[in-house]
Amino acid sequence: MSDLQQKAPLTRRIEILGVPVDAVDMPEAIRLADSMIQQNERASCILAVNPEKVMALSADPWLAEFFRKARLLIPDGIGVVWAARLLHRTRAGRVPGADLMQELCGLAARRGYPIFLYGSKEETSAAAAATLQARFPLLRIAGRANGYLRPDQMGGLVEEINGSGARILFVALGSPRQERWIAEHGDKLRVSVIQGIGGTLDTIAGNVKRAPALWRRANLEWLYRLLSDPRRLRRQTALPLFAARVLREAAGGRRGGAP
């Protein structure tokens, strides 16, 4: 893991059920990422925290420690924003990882920062790259690679990323595979920012439909996704467990005299 990931947090860092998250909104997250690039940081990692992730980290000590050392932990889910306000009186704003990725592409287009896309299927990667290029004509996509490379090809991939001159690397391998890849190869990379983006390339390519803007503004994207794909119900069981634990912690804090 890159030593630079272990720098002090860039902003106020709080904890939700023992999992750290930075109290930021979208404009601040973009500003902080821009600052990392301007200061020529190395392999500074941006990861998303949502209720499902909070519950998963409680069962995976390695992943929990990796998140703790990340440079920026964005409040991806409305549940995390709610918990931050309830437990810490913090006015964090929701920063969806998929939205931040595209905002960073817009930043890269304006600033001239080359980007590199790694992950997903070849056809998805190509379609997402074409969509991003059309959306941001000045964006320089310095390179891309699908997520099905063999382990013996990783050295070549690292060389390709470094040789491309990319300043931002988006890793779309899903969790925890993307975090383990970053941990293994981050210290060899010369990019300034690495964002783990999970299935975002599928969304950009049109393989997965996002909730309409009205649902997103109402913070009901999770419900739209559940109604669109009932198979997500098993994953969504983490939400009531998360809410119950947050309420229990809030009640314990009040009994103990916490604000």
User: Tens digits of per-residue pLDDT, 108-151?
Assistant: 999 999 999 999 999 999 999 999 999 999 999 999 999 999 99
Helix (H) or strand (E) holding 65: helix 61-68
The answer to whether residue 64 sits within a structural domain is yes
Tell me how many domains the chain contains: 1
Range of the domain at 167: 14-205
Which residues, at least 6 apart from 199, have a Cβ–Cβ distance to it below 8 Å? 120, 172, 174, 208
The answer to whether residue 71 sits within a structural domain is yes
What single letter denotes the amino acid at residue 42? R
The answer to whether residue 186 sits within a structural domain is yes
Q: How many CA atoms lie within 13 A of 102 on its CB side?
A: 17
pTM: 0.88
The predicted pLDDT at position 176 comes to 95
The answer to whether residue 69 sits within a structural domain is yes
Quick one: what percent of the chain has pLDDT higher than 70? 84
The answer to whether residue 27 sits within a structural domain is yes
How do residues 75-116 score in pLDDT, each as one tens digit? Answer: 998 999 999 999 999 888 999 999 999 999 999 999 999 999
The answer to whether residue 34 sits within a structural domain is yes
* 256: confidence class by pLDDT, cuts 50, 70, 90: very low
Which residues, at least 6 apart from 36, have a Cβ–Cβ distance to it below 8 Å? 44, 71, 72, 192, 193
Nearest to 119 by CA among 73, 161, 67, 63: 161
Q: In this structure, what CATH number is given to the domain that contains residue 141?
A: 3.40.50.10700
The answer to whether residue 80 sits within a structural domain is yes
